[in-house]
Amino acid sequence: MCVSPRRSVADTLETRQRILDRSLAIASAEGLEGLTIGRLADELGMSKAGLLGHFGTKEGLQLAVVDEAAAVFAREVPQRVKQLPSGLPRLKAVCEAWVSYLEREVLPGGCFFTAATTEFDGRSGRVREALAGMNALWRRDLRIHARRAISDGDLPADTDVEQLIYEIIGIMLALNHFLQLEHDSSAPVRARKALDRLFSAR
């Protein structure tokens, strides 16, 4: 009985979490398509069938990994600054937490969303839509803080909010690029300098 394959709900959830943790590490470095069932099962010491039981199909696994990546990002970035009131201080703190997140290389392949979005932006299907949705939600967060900063008088009344968001995202994409491709340790300094210029000299 004790060594039977039947497990408790808690055990099942723990196994599921183990799969997702490993999947996220692999996918950030090798892509969501490079994440194969056989290799993943091998690394986790379980069978492909046992693994697929948790997610149904590879697409189900990919969608679960996207959710897991969002949870990690939320824990590492917005949650760390949620005590600050919305507005310019919060927006600046979000950006600093974002730079720090990329700088600390929490995932081995850098930003999962950058890698996965670039990989899937030319395709169609549920994974692409899930990624687009996460990106949209995150821009919405930034937009709320930027608008509040304007109504607080901390950013000029004529600030182009979508332009601001565009430039923030560019700074973060460049940070990920220089860290991952060039292993350029001065990239975080450059990101911070660009953000300073963005928030002050407008």
Partner DNA sequence: CCTACCGATCGGTAGG
| Residue ranges in contact with a copy of itself by CB under 8 A | 28-31, 33-34, 108-110, 114-115, 117-119, 121-123, 131-132, 135, 160, 162-163, 166-167, 169-175, 177-178, 180-182, 186-187, 190-191, 193-194, 201
Residue 25 binds DNA (CB under 7 A)? no
| Contact yes or no for 188/99 (Cβ under 8 A) | yes
Element at 135 (helix H, strand E) = helix 126-151
CA distance 187 to 176: 9
177 lines the binding site for DNA (CB under 7 A): no
Q: How many helices (H) and strands (E) does the chain have?
A: 9, 0
CB 33 within 8 A of CB 125: no
Mask for 43-82, x = binds DNA (CB under 7 A): --xxxxxxxxxx-xxxx-----------------------
Residue 173 phi/psi, 5° resolution?
-65, -40
Least separation in angstroms between CB 37 and DNA = 4
Binding site for DNA (CB under 7 A): 5, 7, 11-12, 15-16, 35-39, 45-54, 56-59
